[in-house]
Homo-oligomer: A and B are copies of this chain.
Amino acid sequence: MLSKKTKYGIKALTYLAKKEQRDPIPIAEISKSENISLKFLESILLTLRKNELLGSKKGKGGGYYLLKEPSEIQMTVVMRILEGPISMVPCVSLNFYKKCADCPDETKCAVHNLMTELRDSSLEIFRNTTLADLCNC
């Protein structure tokens, strides 16, 4: 299951991407428009900022804004920040690899091989989809 964190994060990014200007947008505006709990959204945008997808400005007239063009933000990056590994098992993950304790030989593991195939197809979709693509919905 996709976490609400990721779901809300993507919605917020899309909201920002759809704006013509790149002026700071307050959290409250996104929260209202997308029906997301303000405090929860606050923490999500904070992680996106710490991972250099968003910039922020404090005080009156402040808010969050995209640091790159929507067409330059791949969904692989967004997913890894918000959801973690693309792969469904650590032994298949490229960025979060961890060996299985119970499995003596990965190359002969049915789960490993099935999940490798799945990861590859997911990765292709996330790589070929940018925030700009998601704005055309």
Contact = CB atoms under 8 A, between A and B. Distances in A.
Interface residues of A, number: 35
Main secondary structure of the interface of A (DSSP, over half): helix
A49 to B, nearest CB: 20
B88 A113 contact: no
Contacts of A107: 137
Contacts of A109: 11, 137
Contact of A7 (B1, B2, B111, B129): B111
Interface stretch (A21-29, A58-66, A117-125): A117-125
Nearest to A106: B137
Contact of A135 (B88, B102, B110, B122): B110
Interface of A: 1-2, 7, 10-11, 14, 34-36, 75, 85, 88-89, 101-103, 107-115, 117-118, 121-122, 124-125, 129, 134-135, 137
17 contacts: A1-B85, A2-B111, A7-B89, A7-B111, A10-B114, A34-B102, A35-B102, A36-B102, A75-B114, A107-B137, A109-B137, A110-B135, A114-B129, A117-B129, A121-B121, A121-B124, A122-B122
